[in-house]
Structure 1
Amino acid sequence: MNSLIKLELTRALRNRKFLFFSVIYPSALFLLIAGSTDKIDGTGLTVATYMMVSMASFGALTAVLMGNSERIAKERESGWVRQLRLTTLPGRGYVIAKTASAAVVSLPSIVVVFIVAATVKDVRLDAWQWLALTAAIWAGSLVFAALGVAIGYMASGDAVRPITMITYFGLSMLGGLWMPATTFPDWLQSIAKWLPTHAYAALGQAIEQSQSPHAKDITLLVAYFALFAGGAAWLYRKDTLKA
Structure 2
Amino acid sequence: MREANDGVDAEGFIRQVPGVPFQMEYRALLAAVRYQLPALLGRHLIALYVYGSVAEGRARPGQSDLDLTLVLSDACPAGLLVQLEQRRRLLERCHGEVSKIDFDIGRRAEALAPGNRLSWGFWLRHHCRWLWGEDLARRYAPFKPEVGIARAVNGDVLTVMQRYILAHASCASPVERLGIQREAARRLLRAIQVLRRLDERGWPWTLEDHYSRAQRLHPEQRAALDFFYAEARQPQAAAVEFAQQLGAVLLWFERQLRQG
TM-score by length of 2: 0.31
Identify the structure with the greater strand proportion: 2
Normalised TM-score (structure 1): 0.33
Structure with the larger RCO, 1 or 2 (CA within 8 Å, 6+ apart): 1
The structure with more helix, counted as a fraction of residues: 1
